[in-house]
Structure 1
Amino acid sequence: MPENEETPEVVEESQEPATAQEAEGTEEEPFDRARAEAKIRKANQEAKSLRERLKELEPLARRAKELEDAQKTEQERLAEQLSQAEQRAQAFRQRAVRAEVRALAAAEFADPDDAHAFLDLDAFVGDDGEIDSDSIRDSLADLLKRKPHLARPADTSPRRPVPDRTQGSSGNGNRSSSDPGVIFAGLMDKALKGR
């Protein structure tokens, strides 16, 4: 900031301490609408003046930030850009490892997403940034030994339904005696003949 500019000082108004009657409550004193409206007006005026001051100070804060950025050395800017690039590269590396784990787990796991939840993904990235697929396979096999419930079921083929011959009508028209229709018909015959 230039030396000849003065920063405006923020003046805080002291608030009146609560009187003994206000501390006890307003039981003794009736509600005074005019006094309440005056307090509200005063609070609104203070809020308005603070908003105006904030609007005046925002450009100054923006200008100070620009000056601070301009004063940074080229090396500081490059270091900042480097750290941001390293963070992005780390995020991409983690996504690649997660995808590799998911792909290798798809053959043996019921839900491939479960595999990367139980493994340390950073352990599979070498110093050169390459992903060690053999290590992932070994870790997945070890995980299945420790937690066999994560494995895909052995028989995943769809099961054929087994026919139940007691259901439905038989092909020759004979119904079994446990058929509700036959039982009802028998009851109706007895009821009609018993008349």
Structure 2
Amino acid sequence: MPENEETEQSTEEPQVTEPAPEADVAEEEPFDRKRAEAALKKKNSEAENLRKRLKELEPLAKRAQELEDAQKTEAERLNDQLAAARERADKAVRAAVASKVEALARDFADPEDAVGSLDLTAYVDEDGVIDTDAIKEALADLLKRKPHWARPSDEGGPRRPAPDRTQGSSGNGNRSPSDPAQIFAGLMDQALKGR
């Protein structure tokens, strides 16, 4: 039996220790403020030079774009304009549908949850007409799947405290009358007593 114990111990691999990270710290140079300021000044001047070159090259880039546009055929220019117009129209349609969804999502605590979770392009036909019935059905289905998004009902929630009119200056008898006739009568009494 003792022989088996010796063989088991000899099959274990020796553990390799890694050098401590303190050795790396010793190799670093101490902070030199003058050298850091010089490096910072050099980087700032390089950045300034790059900004100047960028300003000089911007008009050239604009001119190159104009030349490229001039070399395009009329059809290519029209296609680019059409693509840009379609993109603007798509953004407008998405904004209109989002507004409609937000207006119809009055049962939601946060109507923007409904806007973010629905595919807004699915509720517009080829003519650009928004299908409000489909939106209502989708919102009802969404509330069934995510009931925690619903607006809390007033019946089950905590009640707001009612004001207590007996507190404050009115509770100790120093309440001023709210009837204008009583206020005038009080002023007249004070004026006559003060005479």
Query: What is the TM-score when the length of structure 1 is the normalising length?
Result: 0.50
Q: Does 1:86 align with 2:72?
A: no
Instruction: Give the SS at the match of 1:91.
Output: helix
Deviations 1:123-164 (A, max 9, x none): 11112211110000000111111111111122269835389x
Taking the aligned partners of 2:52 and 2:153, their CA distance within structure 1 comes to 72
Runs of 4+ in 1 over 2 A off after TM superposition: 50-67, 156-163
Q: Does 1:114 align with 2:150?
A: no
Q: Does 1:67 align with 2:76?
A: no
Instruction: Give the SS at the match of 1:66.
Output: helix
Structure 1 99/59 Cα, relative in aligned 2: closer, same or farther at 3 Å?
closer
Taking the aligned partners of 1:142 and 1:103, their CA distance within structure 2 comes to 17
* Aligned Cα root-mean-square deviation (Å): 4.2
Q: Percent identity?
A: 62
Taking the aligned partners of 2:145 and 2:104, their CA distance within structure 1 comes to 18
Deviation at 1:75, TM superposition (A): 1.4
Higher fraction of helix = 2
Aligned to 1:159: 159
Q: How many residue pairs get matched?
A: 125
Q: Does 1:100 align with 2:90?
A: no
Structure 1 82/102 Cα, relative in aligned 2: closer, same or farther at 3 Å?
same
Equivalence map 1:33-72=2 (5 Å)? 61-72=61-72
Deviations 1:43-97 (A, max 9, x none): x9xx98x999988876655544332221111111111111101000000111001
Alignment gaps of 5+ in structure 1: 1-43, 164-170, 172-195
Query: What is the TM-score when the length of structure 2 is the normalising length?
Result: 0.50
